[in-house]
Amino acid sequence: MTAVSAPPRDLSVAIVDSRLDRVFPRLMLVSHRRHVAGLAVDPETLVVSTDWLAWRDCLDRGQPAIHFEAMLTDWPAERGAPHLCHQRHCQWVFLDGHDASRFDGVSLGKLFVRDVSLAGNAFERLACALDRACTRFRPREMVLLDMRAELDLVDAIQKRQIAAEACARHGILLIDRLDAPAPGDKGFSERLDGYGAPLPDPWSRRVMRGLYTEALDLAGRVLALVRRRKSSTVLILSNWATVRTLTQDFPAGVAPAIMAGIMPKRPKLLWRWLTDGVVPVSLPAVTLTGAEKAQIRAIIDAYEQAWAARPATGVELGLRNFIRQRIFATGWIEDMARQVKSHRRLFRRHRFSRVVLGDSTNAVCRIIAEVARGEGVGVDELLNGMFLTRQRYDSRCGDAYGPPAVDRLLSWGRQNEEWAASTGGPARAVRTGYPALEILRRPAMAPLATGRALVLPIYADCDDTPAFTSNIFANMVETVAALHQMGCASIRVKLHPGPQNLDYYAEALRRFGLEAEIVKDSGLDRHLAWADFVVGPINSGAFVETLAAGKPYYPVCPVPSLIDRALLGPTPVISGAADLVAMLRAGKVIDRDAVLEYFCSFGSIGNAARRFWEVMLLESRGYDVDPAGASSDRLS
């Protein structure tokens, strides 16, 4: 174990050296360590980096530098209300007050709500930071080597647009030497080869998978005929923990319908699911007809003509480019149209009584919600994760042009209901608890021990628009250093599956002489079994999962953040390493029972899976459901 005298103190990008409060004749924009590796130290040049390690390299060499997020410590008023960012960036769907992207009863444009809003947020962050840097440091020229947004959402056209518009506003000379590394470069904190790029999927594998899932779908229908048992079928799209729990035990009269592709592959378990009455469903293979392809082309043409008639600048121009290059030109919009057609056929093949979604902002879930509405099927949302901001989505809140896609919230507990009220979400809510926790449920919290620490890096949640991505690395380094200082014998950093580059995280620790095991996988169970306690983000589902499993969790709330402290109930949060050390030294742990009751009705609802099926069964029989979660005696 590496001995550390004290956690580093200057890792936040918000801490700008007072010696930088002066005029710099030149700004140099960089995105990668290679841009600064051979750079001679120049006191007249201020490096503006979008990469945390490149920024640290400059500081270590004495090169004046800031991370671009240092210019965003307070929310730019010109961006409007931060909790309306997603809705604001998706007004492009409407032309003259109507949705011009509708196909077979579904809004194709709204399937890209999250993608377009993420792109808009990325563009605005870079543009606002650069504008503020020009105002503060008053340069005469700007050298563009590169700038990079999360998920590589800003392309070369947009980078040049952002730099050119900033220079034009401030009367600065732009020197364009754009030298962007490839998206999959190993030096970035994220590893990806283009946002929205399809994963390699050989034709033979697609065919075999299609045959397998269709066979399961057919087997389920045959078994239903053999059993001659009429059940209300509930289509469930949620995380695996929720699906696994809800398929273990359900009453006669209702049955879960699950996408066949996620059914168990082990024959014994698969057979048990089928004989228990779990309904496997497979998306029918479809192609678009010539007329349907022409309809897609007409949709694209309608937007292009409207844009040509109304030229744009700034973020609106940037978003048009994103939509044009990433959604229209790649054929992504056609892929979504095929999915709409396929899901429509799925609903005609299976007569679902209800649909339960884990995330209504997800494109596939949105398709299902809109198709279900057209088929007269009610739509519930049982949230997949933690929702702690007032960020508004039209799928939950509706907009000026239509109602929400979701009819009802199946709430974990009081917190979900307070969150929904704060966002203007579904007026109807029925409390079910959170079924995913049932497989983790332990009767009490284990005594605090501090030998093995599991660190889950914080993240800039896409709903948390003011959050800094650079805080991920600063907080991780400070936390690991503090845990070493506390004498933890073993520290494990676990990354969530996704674009995070494990090597980048390891390098962030190495440069400060810190040791920790770093892993990247999807499972939490084995890590919880190993750990004595967990330090992680308050906005991660791991928070309630860890507490349910009986392990202490120290939740971190980053600064800045849109997370609403009023939606945390009795949960104390820490902002940094000093808070963590103070709590560990005092032996303080969260009041597990109070927190889990507030978030998940953990005490008042003894079994969330049973409560879920009670709600579905009562509704199928035409009974009213107690929204507060009280059990009923009308199921016998």
Residue 390 identity: R
Q: Which has the closest alpha carbon to 583: 627, 549, 535?
A: 535
Nearest to 490 by CA among 538, 451, 440, 438: 451
**Which sign does the torsion angle of CA 512, 513, 516, 519 carry?**
positive
- 3-state class of 610 per DSSP? helix
d(CA 192, CA 185): 8
| Helical ranges in 198-331 per DSSP H | 203-227, 240-246, 267-276, 290-309, 314-322
* pLDDT digits 0-9 by tens, 290-322: 999 999 999 999 999 999 999 999 999 999 999
Buried b (16+ CB within 10 A) or exposed e, 243-256: bbbbbeebeeebbb
pLDDT band of residue 229 (cuts 50, 70, 90) is low
* Rounded (5°) CA angle 572-609-234: 125
Residue 384 has pLDDT above 80, yes or no: yes
> Under CATH, domain 443-600 is a member of which superfamily?
Glycogen Phosphorylase B; (3.40.50.2000)
In single-letter form, the type of residue at position 262 comes to I
- The larger pLDDT score, comparing residue 460 to residue 161, is at 161
- As a CATH number, domain 205-286+336-432+606-620 is 3.40.50
Mean pLDDT (whole number) for 274-281 = 91
**Angle of helix 502-510 versus helix 471-485 axis, rounded to 10:** 50
Q: Is 205-286+336-432+606-620's fold the same as 443-600's?
A: yes
CA angle 356, 362, 368 (to 5 degrees): 45
| For residues 509-536, average pLDDT | 95
Reference 155, options 147, 143, 164, 144; nearest CA is 147
Which region, left, alpha or beta, applies to residue 151 given φ > 0 means left and ψ of -120 to 50 means alpha? Answer: left
- Contact in structure between 122 and 467 (CB atoms under 8 Å): no
Name the token pair of 606. 């003894």
pLDDT reported for residue 266: 84
pLDDT band at 5 (very low <50, low <70, confident <90, very high): very low
What does residue 196 show for φ and ψ, rounded to 5 degrees?
Answer: 80, 5
Segment 494-500 mean pLDDT: 90
Percent of the chain with pLDDT over 70: 94
The yes-or-no verdict on residue 200 having pLDDT over 80 is no
460: pLDDT strictly greater than 90: no
Mean pLDDT, rounded, of the chain: 92
For the ranges 108-122, 190-204, 604-618, the lowest mean pLDDT is seen at 190-204
Positive or negative, the CA dihedral 63, 67, 68, 70 is negative
Coil, helix or strand for 555?
A: strand
Note the pTM of the prediction, 2 decimals: 0.93
347: its two tokens:
């609903």
Q: Of 167, 126, 129, 168, nearest to 148 (Cα)?
A: 126
User: What's the confidence (pLDDT) of residue 206?
Assistant: 72
Does the structure show a pLDDT above 50 at 197? no
Q: CA gyration radius for the chain? A: 26
Kindly list the domain boundaries of the chain, sorted by start residue: 205-286+336-432+606-620, 443-600
**Among 26, 27, 48, 29, CA closest to 145:** 29
Judge whether residue 228 has pLDDT over 80: no
pLDDT in tens, 399-429: 888 899 999 999 999 999 999 999 987 678 9
Q: Is the pLDDT of residue 179 over 60?
A: yes
Q: Is the pLDDT of residue 9 over 70?
A: no
In this structure, the number of other CB atoms found within 10 A of the CB of residue 54 comes to: 21
Give the pLDDT mean for 527-553: 97
